[in-house]
Structure 1
Amino acid sequence: MALVELRGVCKSFRKGDETITPLDEVDLDIEAGDFVSLMGPSGTGKSTLLNLVSGIDRPDAGTIRVAGTEVTKLSRGKLADWRAANLGYIFQTHNLIPVLTAYENVELPTLLLKMSGTQRRQRVELALEAVGLSDRADHYPRQLSGGQEQRVGIARAIVAHPKVVVADEPTGSLDTDTSEQVQVLLQRLNKELDITLLMVTHDTDAAKIASRQLVLDRGKFIEVGLDETSAVS
């Protein structure tokens, strides 16, 4: 069984008098250790897919299973607990809390889990070390560069050792050099720590670092090769 499994997933929205269906009976399998990039024109449902996989939103039809759990059947209360233990989320705009240090921002997901203070400290220290920011643990977001803020966001996403990490345009707000650094970091985390990643991106260079490249268009997935990715707008 795949780590992430979508079967017949549909999602529609109303926009005025029009019904928009970004996801139309889609199927998708993501194996443990995969790094999948998802591209496609704006408005095609890429971020919607991330929200469905993470349980933030629910499909109109179909099933979503992550690590054997049917996410679509969980209650709102159980979803919060499930998400804390199984899923990490990397945002485009970092979403750090400005009054907390890097250490405290990374620690936040662990506060939702049953672990001792020693375990939390070990997890946070390992996560900051993994992204190369051990020496910035006591810094506040305003004292960090944009790239460092994003690395703190990545550390926060992996600190609880989630089954899956989803990333929504993780390089979208970064300059070219910093974007390349974050790409290298994500690729290293996938290969060295065996972290399963599902990443939405408009950046064709970022898409190519993934082991699989998908395009979402007209409610369907199209799997493309490295050379074809450059043709996607």
Structure 2
Amino acid sequence: MALVELRNVSKSFTKGDDTIQPLDGVNLDIEEGDFVSLMGPSGTGKSTLLNVISGIDQPDEGTITVDGVEITKLSRSKLADWRAINLGYIFQTHNLIPVLTTYENVELPTLLLKLTAAERRQRVQLALQAVGLSDRARHYPRQLSGGQEQRVGIARAIVAHPKVVVADEPTGSLDTKTSEQIQSLLQRLNRELNITMLLVTHDSDVAKIASRQLRLDEGKFHEQLPGGVA
């Protein structure tokens, strides 16, 4: 069984008199340790896919199973508990809390877990070490560069040891040099820590850092073969 399984997943929205169907009976398997990138034209459902995999939204049809748990059967409250333990989310715009230090921002997800203070401290220290920010633990977001802020966001996403990390345009607001550094970091975390990762991007160069490349178009997945041929 794959770590993440989508079976016949569909999702549609009504916009005025039109019905938009970003996901149309899609199937997807993501194995533990996979690094999958997802591309597609704007409005084709990439964010919808992330939302249904993370349990933020429910599909109209189909099932989603993560590590043997069929999350499409969970109630809202149980989904919230499941998300806290199993899912890490990397945002494009960092979403750090400005009045909290780097350490405190990274620590936040661990407060939802049944951990001792010592266990939380160890988790945070290891996450900061993994992203190269141990020396910035007491800095506030305003004292960090854009790349450092994104590293804090990545540390926050991995601190709870989630089953899956989803990254929504994680380099979209960064300059070229910083973007390349973040890409290298994501590759290293996937390779060295075996973190299963799903990356959404509009940049074909960023998509190539993943071991598998998918396109989402007209509600269907298209796997990219080596050389970029679908």
TM-score, scaled relative to structure 1: 0.97
Q: Alpha-carbon deviation of 1:32? A: 0.1
Match of 2:153 in 1: 153
Alpha-carbon separation, structure 1, partners of 2:146 and 2:203:
18
Answer whether contact 1:7 1:25 (CA < 8 A) is retained: yes
Give the secondary structure class of the aligned counterpart of 1:12: strand
1:188-203 matched pairs, under 5 angstroms: 188-203=188-203
Match of 1:135 in 2: 135
Give the secondary structure class of the aligned counterpart of 1:198: strand
Match of 1:78 in 2: 78
Q: Alpha-carbon deviation of 1:204? A: 1.0
Q: Where do 5+ consecutive residues of structure 2 fail to align?
A: none
Alpha-carbon separation, structure 2, partners of 1:156 and 1:87:
11
Match of 1:38 in 2: 38
1:21 partner amino acid: Q
Match of 1:57 in 2: 57
Give the secondary structure class of the aligned counterpart of 2:227: helix
Q: Does residue 92 of the first structure (1) align with residue 92 of the second (2)?
A: yes
Alpha-carbon separation, structure 1, partners of 2:157 and 2:139:
18
Match of 2:124 in 1: 124
Answer whether contact 1:4 1:65 (CA < 8 A) is retained: yes
Alpha-carbon separation, structure 2, partners of 1:205 and 1:139:
32
Give the secondary structure class of the aligned counterpart of 1:65: strand
Report the identity percentage.
Answer: 80
Match of 2:169 in 1: 169
Answer whether contact 1:5 1:30 (CA < 8 A) is retained: yes
2:103 partner amino acid: Y
Match of 2:225 in 1: 225
Alpha-carbon separation, structure 2, partners of 1:101 and 1:2:
37
Deviations along 1:132-176, one digit per CA (max 9) or x if unpaired, are 000000010011000000000000000000000000000001000
Answer whether contact 1:213 1:226 (CA < 8 A) is retained: no
Alpha-carbon separation, structure 2, partners of 1:197 and 1:80:
20
Give the secondary structure class of the aligned counterpart of 1:6: strand
Alpha-carbon separation, structure 2, partners of 1:89 and 1:98:
18
Match of 1:69 in 2: 69
Alpha-carbon separation, structure 2, partners of 1:225 and 1:93:
31
1:173 partner amino acid: S
Q: Alpha-carbon deviation of 1:226? A: 3.9
Answer whether contact 1:208 1:226 (CA < 8 A) is retained: no
1:107 partner amino acid: E
Q: Alpha-carbon deviation of 1:225? A: 2.3
Match of 2:178 in 1: 178
Deviations along 1:67-108, one digit per CA (max 9) or x if unpaired, are 110110111111111001100000000000010001000000
1:23 partner amino acid: L
Give the secondary structure class of the aligned counterpart of 2:149: helix
Give the secondary structure class of the aligned counterpart of 1:228: coil
Q: Where do 5+ consecutive residues of structure 1 fail to align?
A: none
Q: How many residues matched? A: 230
Deviations along 1:10-39, one digit per CA (max 9) or x if unpaired, are 000111110000000000000000000000
